[in-house]
Chain A
């Protein structure tokens, strides 16, 4: 399972970085989304992968990490998901406004100096 998850993280991160380096804002948004999926999986896996162990205390089972999944990475992932969702929303609004104002959705500021002076 570790191998599968690490392959997933690696593939997602590679695709994300490739798209992040593309010149158009749509691809960049997709790239950042893929990258944040990769990171969420990574954080999740860092709490150790285990099957059938809920992070909810049960009667008669000692409250140690040997018996339960680590709940902290799950809380961290939840925060990271919320933040990356908000960031993606901001970026999409920004990309749309840039497209409306500049008439181009390229993110590489090619005519920066010529454009506004």
Chain B
């Protein structure tokens, strides 16, 4: 396989997005089919890259064959490929749901493609500045997508979401400036090699930069003191958008792991020791927030926080087994949260805009919606038939710290209680439907939730191979020299000397 294929997951959505933005004369349904086609191609490409990464390990491609100090490298390893697959699935689901739900404006699908481009770029890049650019691409399009869901709450939540992310981007740039000032490069693998040879003063500056980077990634991952922007923003977004946003917090976690292990190596151990209690607190807060959520959208947003906290705990423990368990937990839990967002959208459509749990006099949801809601709620609370359960058990098995056990188990119990309480309130606790209102919940948009349920079910059947892939991903992600070695192997042709 040509290693320059690594650029395709970024180039394909870019082309599709540009085409979609410029295609105002096309019929709306043509535009939607185009977007769906591009997302499906992205998913197939991600699967192909996963296959390649499992075979070849870490692959590096130097864009334009520039030397790594100046140029940009793309890095593909099993972890990045898994995240690409997750993005591909959620991209397809969002495009499909956007096809069915008739709420999208003219430019919605273009923004969706740019969002996918930013996500793929963030997962593939091996260069810190390029990571910043990918973050900005995905953030700008996420602002557009969030604000496209009309309504007062969307504007209100949008302002907060945009402001905290703009502040985060500023901090990111400060950190990048410090890193460049110390090391003279922003290539992650080169930075990892350069860190050991710095003077103590420079190392201190690099530690400051590392703390700032940790802060930025914690904002993206919605870890505890920095997670209060999430519930309002995600609950205000429309279903398809919120389903795609379920992967945004994973970008933060991924960046923490990647930068921590590739750039800082063992110097990041103190930071990860600090992040363990942070992850535990986030997890507990997410579960409690889910119990207190007044509507299904906010409930789903809190399950995203719980999932990010659990992932952080797994990454902070830092052994290969725990990271593998964390990866195999994050994949199904993102899909389950996305499913819940889609169903909240269905519920809103059915009830004319409200997805409150306690809605007296609201018509009963259709039986199919009830069943799907039940499945989704069990899946987010990681009950046995679902893949999250095994992953959590593996995580407990891998954690040496005794404090992880009571908090993780307690939070799981609270989340299960919250799920069942939510289901009972939506499905059972209601007065008789007013006459003339047909129980109806499946106008059109049933394909995307069914697809997600099928994928989650497939994951629970295929948990053993999934865990084996996650183990390989953890192995490559925790090996600080993997990228450096692959970067050396990437044949960089000597450039012709500059003409005198």
B contact residues around A97 at 8 Å (CB): 147, 155
CB–CB A102/B70 < 8 A: no
Q: Is B152 an interface residue (CB 8 A)?
A: yes
Interface string of B397-421 (1 = CB under 8 A from A): 0000000000000000000000000
Residues A115 and B152 in contact in the complex (CB < 8 Å), given A39-B170, A107-B163, A109-B160: yes
Q: Is B178 an interface residue (CB 8 A)?
A: yes
B contact residues around A36 at 8 Å (CB): 170, 173
How far, in angstroms, from A25 to B162 measured CA to CA in the complex? 12
Q: Which of B153-194 contact A (CB under 8 A)?
A: 153, 155-160, 162-163, 166-167, 169-170, 173-174, 176-178, 180-181, 184
B contact residues around A46 at 8 Å (CB): 177-178, 180-181
CB–CB A90/B162 < 8 A: yes
Residues A94 and B180 in contact in the complex (CB < 8 Å), given A43-B173, A116-B152: no
Interface string of A102-117 (1 = CB under 8 A from B): 1000010100100110
CB–CB A76/B180 < 8 A: yes
CB–CB B160/A107 < 8 A: yes
B contact residues around A87 at 8 Å (CB): 136, 140, 166, 169
Q: How far is the CB of A67 from chain B (nearest CB, A)?
A: 13
Size category of the binding interface on chain A: 35 or more
Interface string of A38-69 (1 = CB under 8 A from B): 01001101110000000001010001000000
For A48, give the chain B residue with the smallest CB separation: B181
By secondary structure, the A interface counts as helix
How far, in angstroms, from A46 to B175 measured CA to CA in the complex? 11
Q: How far is the CB of B118 from chain A (nearest CB, A)?
A: 12
CB–CB A91/B166 < 8 A: yes
How far, in angstroms, from A40 to B133 measured CA to CA in the complex? 15
Residues A91 and B162 in contact in the complex (CB < 8 Å), given A72-B70, A80-B173: yes
B contact residues around A35 at 8 Å (CB): 167, 170
Q: Is A7 an interface residue (CB 8 A)?
A: no
How far, in angstroms, from A46 to B170 measured CA to CA in the complex? 16
Most buried by A among B155, B159, B163, B500: B159
How far, in angstroms, from A72 to B147 measured CA to CA in the complex? 35
Q: Is B129 an interface residue (CB 8 A)?
A: yes
Q: How far is the CB of B177 from chain A (nearest CB, A)?
A: 4
CB–CB B143/A47 < 8 A: no
How far, in angstroms, from A94 to B162 measured CA to CA in the complex? 9
CB–CB A109/B173 < 8 A: no
Q: Which of B111-158 contact A (CB under 8 A)?
A: 129, 133, 136, 140, 143, 147, 151-153, 155-158
For A88, give the chain B residue with the smallest CB separation: B166
Residues A102 and B147 in contact in the complex (CB < 8 Å), given A39-B177, A43-B177: no
A contact residues around B232 at 8 Å (CB): 109, 112
For B354, give the chain A residue with the smallest CB separation: A117
CB–CB A83/B136 < 8 A: yes
B contact residues around A25 at 8 Å (CB): 159
CB–CB A73/B170 < 8 A: no
How far, in angstroms, from A116 to B176 measured CA to CA in the complex? 40
CB–CB B177/A42 < 8 A: yes
A contact residues around B136 at 8 Å (CB): 83, 87
CB–CB A95/B180 < 8 A: no
B contact residues around A107 at 8 Å (CB): 159-160, 163
B contact residues around A80 at 8 Å (CB): 173
Q: Which of B59-73 contact A (CB under 8 A)?
A: 70
Nearest first, the 8 A-B pairs at minimum CB distance are A46-B181, A116-B153, A43-B177, A46-B177, A39-B173, A116-B152, A42-B177, A98-B155
Given contacts A86-B140, A94-B147, A115-B153, 18 further A-B contacts (CB under 8 A): A32-B166, A36-B170, A36-B173, A43-B180, A46-B178, A46-B181, A57-B498, A63-B498, A72-B180, A76-B129, A76-B176, A87-B136, A91-B162, A91-B166, A94-B159, A102-B152, A112-B153, A116-B153
Can you give 7 A-B contacts (C-beta < 8 A)? A20-B163, A32-B166, A32-B167, A35-B167, A46-B178, A116-B151, A116-B153
Instruction: Show the binding face of A for B, using Cβ within 8 Å.
Output: 20, 25, 28, 32, 35-36, 39, 42-43, 45-47, 57, 59, 63, 70, 72-73, 76, 79-80, 83, 86-87, 90-91, 94-95, 97-98, 101-102, 107, 109, 112, 115-116
